[in-house]
Chain A
Amino acid sequence: MTEPNIIKPVNVNKELLKVEDLYVEYSSNLEIVKAVNGVSFSLKQGETLGLVGETGAGKTTIARSILRILPDPPAKVKKGEVFFKGTNLSTLSEPQMRKIRGHEISMIFQDPMTALNPVLTIGEQISEAVRVHKNMNRKEAEIEGKKALELVGISEERYYEYPHQFSGGMKQRVVIAIALACNPELLIADEPTTALDVTIQAQVLNLIYELQQKNKMAMILITHDFGIVAETCDNVAVVYAGEIVEYGSLRQIFKEPAHPYTVGLFGAIPSMTGDVERLHNIDGMPCDPTHLPEGCKFAPRCKYASAECNKPISAVDLENGHQCRCIKAKDILMGKNE
């Protein structure tokens, strides 16, 4: 079915992506929005990282900065670097970066209804990715394109149809097909199921997971849904106000959340077992990205906050790679265990 895949030795210790101290701002005439404020994380081959957080936390900005597809007039990467397989992406020229986009790193977007070009057939939109990266002619690319369609469960006769002829879930499958057409090593999925019906969500998510396992891809899954995280991710990074406030393995984050924000998020999830009077929501409003506080960005809403929290915070190391950006983390964890 497929041409012989070059088998990539899955070396679990090999680092695929490293984001180092990323700062991104959106500036307009009136104000500056600090979208990303010092984000660092890394990803190994085949690993799945969940980026969790509220809308506006900066997750999409982080994702787009990796691929360098931020809208350039308003957005600017102020500081920080992204390394992919050892190469510093921030120093690559545009033509070099283009070779990587869609080929070694691919992205799936949130809203399938607007992610496809309405005037081109979906076949064309899939095969152009192949043609650009694999130097094939039209006929060969068409074959590859049809294969990609089959992979996502769409019959190849629909190759010549237009996006408006597909439902939302099917459109998202097409988007996935486009992203995976060139067998990328890293897939960034930006809330891939948020805009879909609940019944379709599971299907699409399964599809992504299957294909990821099959192709041994690493994945960054951006979502605000912990349920999805629980099913798919190896590690989790909780994002708030453009910072990673907590990072750890799936188990660490779910069983021992240390940051008050993470704890709050879990508290807001309805429980299938047990009777709860009211859901605990987190007090206060998400902070204004144009006027961020100096110290801990969550302090204004935090019930554990004290005066020390208003000074710049660095990450606290908890055990086994579990990190938290809260000076009260250890106390919180101990308090829970009592």
Chain B
Amino acid sequence: MPDVSGTMEMNKSLLAREARQAKIKAFKEGWHRLCQNKVAVIGLIVIIVLLFIAIFAPVLTPYSYDKIDPLNAYQAPSSAHVFGTDGLGRDLLSRVLYGTRYSLAIAFSAQAVGIVFGILLGALAGFFEGLLSDVIMRFCDIFQAIPSTLMAILVSQTLGAGFISTTIALAVTTTPSITRIVRALILQIRNQEFIEAGRAINCSNGRLIAFHILPNIIPQIIISFTGGLSGKFIDSAGLSYLGLGIQPPTPEWGALLTDGKAYLRYYPNLVLAPGLFIMIAALAFNLVGDGLRDALDPRMRD
């Protein structure tokens, strides 16, 4: 009687290895495709520049971002102050550059927290069908019935202004849609044969999840992460504008907009500069997000 289980083990690990190699090849192809997408590459460069600015802000800024100089308040852009100065004489360029740290940090953390919870909930809903899954999906329905800006405002008001509360407020708006996506993906993958094969060989649930299911949802997660990131810049700025979110004197871009909003008529540079940065960041992430989607989603191939 031939040793069937031994052969099956070998076949299984062969299959798994082939599958991994195919995945790696797919990633390489995806990366290659991304690099061919000129606008996506531009976006990527901009993001790297922004990260650079964020990390090296203290070195790059000509003045300290909180250096108050009341005699030089409301200066128009000049060679001394490239973006001009604000109401307390602080150099706007320095504040905007330093604010890159806060804005990037908020956007990334909000998106990351939102996605992590989304994956957890989506995985629970996808794996364990029945009451748990239904309850989670109903919660998603209800959360998504509230327009996301309003939800963010609501949560932000309850938790108050500040970094952590804003992160939570923004994360809450991301989680429901990620939950749905992850759940749909997991339902799809669960029913594929290689999972059944794994179970047939007594693969533990944990192994199944780690080695077979998670790798298949990674491309979509990457796409969702970058795609939603741009919205976070805009939403966090919006919250600041309303008096929630991050408030002055923290030089987060939204807070800078709030600072300047009363003086729009006379000192438009106060509003122009931070807004421009928000737009550039959002655009860069949108371009990269779209490029990633095109690169990793085989259906969009030409």
Asked if A and B touch directly (CB within 8 angstroms), the answer is yes
Which chain A residues have a beta carbon within 8 Å of chain B's beta carbons? 28-30, 73-74
Closest A residue to B33 by CB, please name it: A29
For A28, the chain B residues whose CB sits under 8 A away are 301-302
Considering the chains assembled together, what is the distance between the CA atoms of A30 and B302 in angstroms?
Answer: 11
A-B pairs, 10 with minimum CB distance: A29-B36, A73-B302, A74-B302, A28-B302, A30-B32, A29-B33, A28-B301, A30-B29, A30-B33, A29-B302
Chain B interface: which size bin? Answer: under 10
Considering the chains assembled together, what is the distance between the CA atoms of A30 and B295 in angstroms?
Answer: 12
Considering the chains assembled together, what is the distance between the CA atoms of A28 and B298 in angstroms?
Answer: 13
Closest B residue to A29 by CB, please name it: B36
**What are 10 A-B pairs with beta-carbon distances under 8 A?**
A28-B301, A28-B302, A29-B33, A29-B36, A29-B302, A30-B29, A30-B32, A30-B33, A73-B302, A74-B302
For B32, the chain A residues whose CB sits under 8 A away are 30
Chain B, 23-61, contact with A by CB distance < 8 Å: what is the 0/1 string? 000000100110010000000000000000000000000
Closest B residue to A28 by CB, please name it: B302
Considering the chains assembled together, what is the distance between the CA atoms of A30 and B33 in angstroms?
Answer: 8
Considering the chains assembled together, what is the distance between the CA atoms of A73 and B302 in angstroms?
Answer: 7
The smallest C-beta distance from B271 to any residue of chain A, in angstroms, reads 42
For B301, the chain A residues whose CB sits under 8 A away are 28
For B29, the chain A residues whose CB sits under 8 A away are 30
Considering the chains assembled together, what is the distance between the CA atoms of A30 and B25 in angstroms?
Answer: 13
Considering the chains assembled together, what is the distance between the CA atoms of A73 and B33 in angstroms?
Answer: 16
For B32, B36, B302, which residue has the most chain A Cβ atoms within 10 angstroms? Answer: B302
The smallest C-beta distance from B30 to any residue of chain A, in angstroms, reads 11
Closest A residue to B29 by CB, please name it: A30
Residues 1 to 43 of chain B near chain A (Cβ within 8 Å): 29, 32-33, 36
For A29, the chain B residues whose CB sits under 8 A away are 33, 36, 302
Considering the chains assembled together, what is the distance between the CA atoms of A28 and B294 in angstroms?
Answer: 14
The smallest C-beta distance from B26 to any residue of chain A, in angstroms, reads 12
The smallest C-beta distance from A289 to any residue of chain B, in angstroms, reads 16
For B33, the chain A residues whose CB sits under 8 A away are 29-30
Considering the chains assembled together, what is the distance between the CA atoms of A29 and B32 in angstroms?
Answer: 9
Considering the chains assembled together, what is the distance between the CA atoms of A28 and B302 in angstroms?
Answer: 7
Considering the chains assembled together, what is the distance between the CA atoms of A146 and B68 in angstroms?
Answer: 85
Considering the chains assembled together, what is the distance between the CA atoms of A280 and B290 in angstroms?
Answer: 49
Residues 72 to 116 of chain B near chain A (Cβ within 8 Å): none
The smallest C-beta distance from B299 to any residue of chain A, in angstroms, reads 14
For B36, the chain A residues whose CB sits under 8 A away are 29
Considering the chains assembled together, what is the distance between the CA atoms of A29 and B29 in angstroms?
Answer: 11
Chain B, 177-216, contact with A by CB distance < 8 Å: what is the 0/1 string? 0000000000000000000000000000000000000000
Closest A residue to B32 by CB, please name it: A30
Considering the chains assembled together, what is the distance between the CA atoms of A69 and B301 in angstroms?
Answer: 18
Considering the chains assembled together, what is the distance between the CA atoms of A151 and B32 in angstroms?
Answer: 52
The smallest C-beta distance from B60 to any residue of chain A, in angstroms, reads 37
Considering the chains assembled together, what is the distance between the CA atoms of A30 and B35 in angstroms?
Answer: 12
Closest B residue to A26 by CB, please name it: B302
Considering the chains assembled together, what is the distance between the CA atoms of A74 and B300 in angstroms?
Answer: 12
The smallest C-beta distance from B302 to any residue of chain A, in angstroms, reads 5
Chain B, 216-258, contact with A by CB distance < 8 Å: what is the 0/1 string? 0000000000000000000000000000000000000000000
Considering the chains assembled together, what is the distance between the CA atoms of A239 and B97 in angstroms?
Answer: 64
Considering the chains assembled together, what is the distance between the CA atoms of A37 and B118 in angstroms?
Answer: 50
Considering the chains assembled together, what is the distance between the CA atoms of A181 and B247 in angstroms?
Answer: 71
Considering the chains assembled together, what is the distance between the CA atoms of A29 and B294 in angstroms?
Answer: 13
Considering the chains assembled together, what is the distance between the CA atoms of A29 and B33 in angstroms?
Answer: 8
Residues 99 to 143 of chain B near chain A (Cβ within 8 Å): none
Considering the chains assembled together, what is the distance between the CA atoms of A30 and B32 in angstroms?
Answer: 8
The smallest C-beta distance from A326 to any residue of chain B, in angstroms, reads 33
The smallest C-beta distance from A291 to any residue of chain B, in angstroms, reads 16
For A73, the chain B residues whose CB sits under 8 A away are 302
For B302, the chain A residues whose CB sits under 8 A away are 28-29, 73-74
Chain B, 274-302, contact with A by CB distance < 8 Å: what is the 0/1 string? 00000000000000000000000000011
For A74, the chain B residues whose CB sits under 8 A away are 302
The smallest C-beta distance from A31 to any residue of chain B, in angstroms, reads 10
Closest B residue to A27 by CB, please name it: B302
Considering the chains assembled together, what is the distance between the CA atoms of A337 and B169 in angstroms?
Answer: 83
Considering the chains assembled together, what is the distance between the CA atoms of A48 and B32 in angstroms?
Answer: 45
Closest A residue to B301 by CB, please name it: A28
Considering the chains assembled together, what is the distance between the CA atoms of A227 and B36 in angstroms?
Answer: 47
The smallest C-beta distance from A150 to any residue of chain B, in angstroms, reads 39
The smallest C-beta distance from A30 to any residue of chain B, in angstroms, reads 7
Given contacts A29-B33, A29-B36, A29-B302, 7 further A-B contacts (CB under 8 A): A28-B301, A28-B302, A30-B29, A30-B32, A30-B33, A73-B302, A74-B302
Considering the chains assembled together, what is the distance between the CA atoms of A73 and B301 in angstroms?
Answer: 11
For A30, the chain B residues whose CB sits under 8 A away are 29, 32-33
Considering the chains assembled together, what is the distance between the CA atoms of A5 and B181 in angstroms?
Answer: 57
Considering the chains assembled together, what is the distance between the CA atoms of A30 and B22 in angstroms?
Answer: 17
Considering the chains assembled together, what is the distance between the CA atoms of A268 and B31 in angstroms?
Answer: 41
The smallest C-beta distance from A160 to any residue of chain B, in angstroms, reads 33
The smallest C-beta distance from B296 to any residue of chain A, in angstroms, reads 15
Closest B residue to A71 by CB, please name it: B302
Considering the chains assembled together, what is the distance between the CA atoms of A74 and B302 in angstroms?
Answer: 6
The smallest C-beta distance from B210 to any residue of chain A, in angstroms, reads 31
Closest B residue to A73 by CB, please name it: B302
The smallest C-beta distance from A72 to any residue of chain B, in angstroms, reads 10
The smallest C-beta distance from B37 to any residue of chain A, in angstroms, reads 9
Considering the chains assembled together, what is the distance between the CA atoms of A22 and B26 in angstroms?
Answer: 32
Considering the chains assembled together, what is the distance between the CA atoms of A30 and B30 in angstroms?
Answer: 11
Considering the chains assembled together, what is the distance between the CA atoms of A74 and B301 in angstroms?
Answer: 10
Considering the chains assembled together, what is the distance between the CA atoms of A161 and B29 in angstroms?
Answer: 44
The smallest C-beta distance from B35 to any residue of chain A, in angstroms, reads 10
The smallest C-beta distance from A252 to any residue of chain B, in angstroms, reads 41
The smallest C-beta distance from A24 to any residue of chain B, in angstroms, reads 16
